[in-house]
Chains A and B, each alone.
Chain A
């Protein structure tokens, strides 16, 4: 019996299928994943460079289900940032696409399967791992921050079970991948569907590619997930006119969708007899915390809904007192078994136990209405979601100052970051640098040159004063 999934019980049912016609039954996935885990030789730390490919999936399932702790990283991560992470955590192995293996000189390939290979790093002095630690997820995938979320086996199983319950998943489902495997939303789709014996349709192709839609139609996908930007793209593609009879459910998370798009997709779903499910979550809560029941999607436009089964929401004011009146803003606090253990910033932290005790202060400001449906209205912390990726603004500031030794500050709204500098000569270099480090599309970044970065007497940047330079 694995740590999360009982794969052999679904025997000959197809677990995963890719666009090239390759597939694995649950028995085969079980065998492949056990073989890989055996090669790693027991509990240890592994870095996985993720793609939406079968090899990447075998790694994820094989490691998690067999007690090996993997760090799920983007295969596009900047090399210098990856080197920092390796130095900070000293993993025993890397699980990487074969075509990227040569970038790791001196590491020995000990096993290979489905275009992925297991590289022994040769690092000595590995860090001890807390027994319940199951998986590590980056907090800011793109800036390469060494800060990871520590997720336990209980977290993963509890959240997946809850998701399968509220989405009413069964073995007839065929979700198609639209999100990366280094992203908790993408992983939660895998986690919940493998609990019920569904078939994952795997492709590295995106919504803007013909191959994606050909595979979608040929393999009869029943669901997909998307961040707000995904729905903007679908809107632009005039998705509503596409013939997708197999589609049953669209889920949305990874930031707040605009009320206009919420309305459009909810109305489309209602007309077509499909479900549109707005959800709310964070890596710190494994993945999901709230969902808007699809039958109320039209009526509760702009809401992220109610707590998932097994979870509880409350709002607290600045003095930590619980808010009991509707339409009053407070910080959203979540309680549930999927609240993760805490963070790690270096290898020594991997032995740490549960630091949260099942309670998460989300950092999101919210209100509830008369029916206790919740609405996110703002954010306490300084980060943006750029195309669904969390980008920490303080980290961006630090990176710019570290690289150029100049005065700089970043601010903005989701999908639009503004980089403030005082010396126009640095405009292009700063922008190019941030684009290169985050690996996000340049369309999200603008530089604004101002005379002076506003600061208070203590030298703290007054970010609020930057807002006058861009329309919110």
Chain B
């Protein structure tokens, strides 16, 4: 699986949604992405890429696109 596929799967599995819904998806756009869902998403991303995210990044990750940007940073080094 490519990193993008893994990244997408963290979202689709956590929120139980289809891949088509990911583009432009933002925090609280869907019921499943509330604070509880956010915590599950972070756990899924950390497991998938074997990283530990900083507090600032956890609360900054408020959209599907923003997450890619954050994980691409040197701290985590995930290439998409």
Residues of A within 8 A of B (CB): 206-210, 212-213, 229, 232-233, 236-239, 241-242, 387, 435, 439-444
Q: Are B38 and A208 in contact (CB under 8 A)?
A: yes
Chain B residues contacting A237 (CB-CB under 8 Å) are: 55, 58-59
CA distance A209 to B35 in the complex (A): 8
In the complex, the chain B residue whose C-beta lies closest to that of A232 is: B39
Tell yes or no: B27 within 8 A of A by CB.
yes
Q: Are B55 and A210 in contact (CB under 8 A)?
A: no
Q: Are A209 and B37 in contact (CB under 8 A)?
A: no
Q: Are A208 and B59 in contact (CB under 8 A)?
A: yes
Q: Are B59 and A210 in contact (CB under 8 A)?
A: yes
CB of A242 to closest CB in B, whole Å: 6
Instruction: For A207, give its contact among B31, B32, B35 (CB under 8 Å).
Output: B35
Chain A residues contacting B14 (CB-CB under 8 Å) are: 443
CA distance A229 to B36 in the complex (A): 8
In the complex, the chain A residue whose C-beta lies closest to that of B15 is: A442
Q: Are B31 and A242 in contact (CB under 8 A)?
A: no
CB of A169 to closest CB in B, whole Å: 27
* A233-B35, A242-B55, A442-B32 known; A210-B60 Cβ under 8 A: yes
CA distance A399 to B15 in the complex (A): 24
Tell yes or no: B43 within 8 A of A by CB.
yes
Q: Are A209 and B42 in contact (CB under 8 A)?
A: no
In the complex, the chain B residue whose C-beta lies closest to that of A233 is: B39
In the complex, the chain B residue whose C-beta lies closest to that of A241 is: B55
Tell yes or no: B34 within 8 A of A by CB.
yes
Residues of B within 8 A of A (CB): 14-16, 27, 31-32, 34-40, 42-43, 54-55, 58-60, 62
CB of A428 to closest CB in B, whole Å: 10
Closest 9 A-B residue pairs measured CB to CB?
A441-B36, A208-B38, A206-B35, A208-B35, A210-B59, A237-B55, A443-B40, A238-B55, A441-B37
CB of B74 to closest CB in A, whole Å: 20
Most B C-beta atoms less than 10 A away, residue of A207, A229, A236, A444: A236
Chain A residues contacting B58 (CB-CB under 8 Å) are: 208, 236-237
CA distance A160 to B35 in the complex (A): 29
Instruction: For A443, give its contact among B27, B37, B42, B59 (CB under 8 Å).
Output: B37
Instruction: For B59, give its contact among A213, A241, A387, A439 (CB under 8 Å).
Output: A213
In the complex, the chain B residue whose C-beta lies closest to that of A386 is: B36
CB of A410 to closest CB in B, whole Å: 19
CB of B32 to closest CB in A, whole Å: 6
Q: Are A206 and B39 in contact (CB under 8 A)?
A: no
Please name 10 pairs of A and B residues whose Cβ atoms are closer than 8 Å in the assembled complex, sorted by A: A208-B35, A209-B59, A210-B59, A232-B39, A233-B35, A233-B39, A237-B59, A441-B40, A442-B16, A444-B36
CB of A157 to closest CB in B, whole Å: 32
Chain A residues contacting B16 (CB-CB under 8 Å) are: 442
CA distance A121 to B56 in the complex (A): 46
Chain A residues contacting B39 (CB-CB under 8 Å) are: 208, 232-233, 236
CB of B15 to closest CB in A, whole Å: 8
Other A-B pairs beyond A208-B27, A208-B58, A441-B40, 9, CB < 8 Å:
A206-B35, A209-B62, A210-B59, A210-B60, A233-B39, A236-B58, A387-B36, A441-B36, A442-B37
Chain A residues contacting B15 (CB-CB under 8 Å) are: 442
Q: Are A441 and B62 in contact (CB under 8 A)?
A: no
In the complex, the chain B residue whose C-beta lies closest to that of A387 is: B36
Chain B residues contacting A242 (CB-CB under 8 Å) are: 55
CA distance A15 to B72 in the complex (A): 44
* A236-B42, A237-B58 known; A209-B36 Cβ under 8 A: no
Chain A residues contacting B31 (CB-CB under 8 Å) are: 435, 439, 441
CB of A77 to closest CB in B, whole Å: 13
CB of A102 to closest CB in B, whole Å: 21
Q: Are A206 and B62 in contact (CB under 8 A)?
A: no
CA distance A387 to B31 in the complex (A): 15
CA distance A52 to B32 in the complex (A): 20
Chain B residues contacting A212 (CB-CB under 8 Å) are: 59
Chain B residues contacting A236 (CB-CB under 8 Å) are: 39, 42-43, 58
* A236-B39, A236-B43, A443-B40 known; A206-B34 Cβ under 8 A: yes
Most A C-beta atoms less than 10 A away, residue of B15, B38, B40: B38
Chain B residues contacting A208 (CB-CB under 8 Å) are: 27, 35, 38-39, 58-59
In the complex, the chain A residue whose C-beta lies closest to that of B41 is: A208
CA distance A156 to B31 in the complex (A): 33
CB of A294 to closest CB in B, whole Å: 24
Chain A residues contacting B32 (CB-CB under 8 Å) are: 441-442
Chain A residues contacting B59 (CB-CB under 8 Å) are: 208-210, 212-213, 237
Most B C-beta atoms less than 10 A away, residue of A387, A441, A444: A441
